[in-house]
């Protein structure tokens, strides 16, 4: 059975672009994943669908209320028998990494919750198995972070990318940045392609690429290099 991603949001229509994008759209059409959007507003107490209120203690802005969110998460859980982690997208969460994306892709079900306004009632956090942040910046809502999670997870579902792309993920999720790539023409406005790539010597090409990936990582993202030292040994061979 295809994995299922539920999204709880006040702006379900915002997800159209991602769900209709070429790769995620095809995965949905081929039923390799199911994405179900639930509008939190449907769980508000009145006809308006009010889901926020003024903060106790005063202060600016509005806060998402407990009752609509609790009932919504409970209802969404009941839509499918399979269990799965409830994940809140918040700036206070653990940082999203490829490793956490891989963990999420291993679940048959994910329930993503998008916060809004100035935040949510602190008690809503008790619904979450995990809080995730896509980076140290504030957005107007959790929708874009949820779309980032959907895109990153769906591309890891077997069959979603071609076999070659899948293999690529294996080697470069080892923690190195990608090596430089080139295509025709061999010379463009005086910019040339490294000779080794035209040599046909596949062992030498592999060695060059590994060295480039390592060097690029050292220059741009030295923080990633601890995990990549194993790759260094391969280049030294």
Instruction: Provide the binding-site residues for ligand 4G3, judged by CB under 6 A.
Output: 89-91, 115-116, 119-120, 133-135, 137-139, 141-142, 145
Nearest residue to ligand 4G3, by Cβ distance, number only = 115
Q: Which is nearer to ligand 4G3, 133 or 217 (CB)?
A: 133
Least CB distance from residue 234 to ligand 4G3, whole Å? Answer: 35
Q: What's the Cα-to-Cα distance from 158 to each of 36, 125, 162, 166, 198, rounded to whole Å?
A: 20, 32, 9, 8, 32
Q: Which is nearer to ligand 4G3, 139 or 196 (CB)?
A: 139
Do the beta carbons of residue 153 and residue 87 sit within 8 Å?
Answer: no
Q: Which is nearer to ligand 4G3, 128 or 213 (CB)?
A: 128
Which residues are CB-neighbours of 123 under 8 A, at least 6 positions away? 66
Look up residue 46 and give its DSSP letter: S
Which residues are CB-neighbours of 25 under 8 A, at least 6 positions away? 19
Do the beta carbons of residue 90 and residue 142 sit within 8 Å?
Answer: yes
Least CB distance from residue 99 to ligand 4G3, whole Å? Answer: 17
Q: Which is nearer to ligand 4G3, 3 or 145 (CB)?
A: 145
Least CB distance from residue 46 to ligand 4G3, whole Å? Answer: 23
Least CB distance from residue 141 to ligand 4G3, whole Å? Answer: 5
């Amino acid at each position: 059975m295809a994995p299922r991603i539920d999204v709880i949001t006040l702006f379900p229509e915002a997800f159209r672009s991602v769900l209709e994008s070429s790769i995620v759209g095809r995965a949905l059409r081929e039923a390799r994943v199911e994405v179900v959007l639930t509008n939190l507003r449907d769980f508000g107490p009145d006809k308006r669908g009010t889901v926020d209120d003024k903060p106790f203690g005063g202060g600016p802005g509005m806060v998402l209320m407990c009752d609509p969110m609790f009932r919504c998460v409970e209802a969404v859980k009941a839509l499918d028998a399979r269990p799965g982690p409830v994940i809140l997208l918040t700036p206070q969460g653990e940082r999203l990494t490829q490793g956490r994306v891989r963990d999420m892709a291993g679940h048959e079900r994910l329930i993503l919750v998008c916060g809004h306004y100035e935040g949510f009632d602190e008690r809503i956090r008790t619904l979450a198995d995990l809080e995730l942040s896509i980076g140290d910046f504030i957005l107007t809502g959790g929708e874009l972070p949820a779309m980032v999670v959907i895109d990153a997870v769906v591309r890891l579902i077997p069959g979603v990318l071609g076999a070659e792309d899948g293999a690529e993920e294996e080697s470069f999720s080892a923690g190195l940045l990608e090596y430089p790539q080139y295509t025709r023409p061999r010379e463009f406005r005086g910019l040339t392609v490294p000779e080794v790539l035209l040599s046909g010597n596949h062992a030498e090409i592999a060695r060059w690429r590994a060295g480039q990936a390592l060097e690029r990582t050292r220059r741009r993202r030295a923080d990633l290099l601890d995990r990549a030292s194993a790759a260094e040994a391969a280049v030294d061979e």
